[in-house]
């Protein structure tokens, strides 16, 4: 009995401290039969503090996923879930693997444990950066691939700030190939005037 209890304790501790990509593999989706042939993952990535938990959904390309680049997709709003891009705007997934990150905390399924969320752009970027670091720990096969940071609408603010933060931290060893902005024309000038 003692060995069984020790085994259960170790199994629980492993789950608490060493999440792997397999823990987040989407096995089924309600109402979707049959499941698509490409892999999907959904779960939470810790932000800059344990308080911040950012929801992500990774959709791997339908073919050659192990060789294709990774695209980070950030919806704008502010306050618009990146799952809007997944469900209404993007696909099919054949030329890249796409990571949808719901940010900032308080958007979509992302949350702050204590309920205190911040929409300050620099804090959002720090949380997104920490979530990316945790993503690459959980999915090490994506490290070293071309990496594209993209966003739309208010993502025109999120993307450049995050790209600057990534560029200032060479230890994360990301090959940021490009960052793309969709519909930033109205957002960026007003942001510059207000700040």
Number of domains forming the structure of the chain: 1
Q: For residue 88, what are the contacts with CB-CB under 8 A and spacing of at least 6? A: none
- The answer to the question of residue 165 being in a domain is yes
**CATH, residue 169:** 3.40.50.1820
Helix (H) or strand (E) holding 44: strand 40-46
168 has a pLDDT exceeding 60: yes
pTM to 2 decimals?
0.81
**What pLDDT does residue 144 have?**
85
Each residue's pLDDT tens digit, 31-47: 888 888 899 999 999 99
Q: Rounded to an integer, what is the distance from CA 79 to the centroid of its chain?
A: 15
- The answer to the question of residue 15 being in a domain is no
- The answer to the question of residue 57 being in a domain is yes
Whole-number Cα distances in Å, 168 to 140, 172, 174: 21, 10, 11
Q: What backbone torsions phi and psi does residue 151 show, to the nearest 5 degrees?
A: -165, 165
Alpha carbons 78 and 86: distance in angstroms, whole number: 17
- The answer to the question of residue 85 being in a domain is yes
Q: What backbone torsions phi and psi does residue 40 show, to the nearest 5 degrees?
A: -135, 145
- The answer to the question of residue 32 being in a domain is yes
CB 54 within 8 A of CB 105: yes
- The answer to the question of residue 30 being in a domain is yes
DSSP string, 45-62: EE-SSTTEEEEEEEE--S
Domain that holds residue 190: 26-194
The Cβ of residue 76 has, within 10 Å, a number of other Cβ atoms equal to 23
193 has a pLDDT exceeding 50: no
- The answer to the question of residue 16 being in a domain is no
**The token pair that represents 128 in the structure block:** 């997104």
Each residue's pLDDT tens digit, 67-84: 999 999 999 877 889 998
- The answer to the question of residue 11 being in a domain is no
């Amino acid at each position: 009995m003692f060995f069984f209890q020790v085994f259960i304790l170790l199994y629980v501790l492993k789950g608490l401290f060493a999440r792997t990509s397999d823990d987040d593999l989407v096995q089924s989706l309600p109402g979707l039969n049959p499941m698509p042939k490409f892999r999907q993952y959904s779960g939470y990535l810790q932000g800059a503090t344990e308080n911040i938990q950012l929801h992500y959904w990774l959709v791997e390309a339908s073919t050659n996923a192990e060789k294709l680049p990774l695209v980070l997709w950030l919806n704008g709003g502010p306050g618009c879930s990146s799952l809007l891009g997944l469900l209404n705007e993007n696909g099919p997934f054949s030329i890249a693997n796409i990571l949808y990150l719901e940010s900032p905390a308080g958007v979509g399924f992302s949350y702050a444990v204590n309920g205190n969320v911040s929409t300050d752009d620099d804090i959002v970027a720090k949380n997104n950066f920490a979530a990316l670091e945790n993503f690459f720990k959980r999915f090490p096969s994506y490290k070293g691939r071309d990496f594209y940071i993209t966003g739309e609408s208010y993502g025109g603010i999120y993307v450049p700030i995050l790209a600057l933060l990534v560029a200032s931290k060479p230890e994360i060893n990301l090959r940021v190939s490009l960052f793309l902005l969709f519909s930033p024309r109205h957002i960026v000038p007003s942001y510059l005037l207000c700040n």
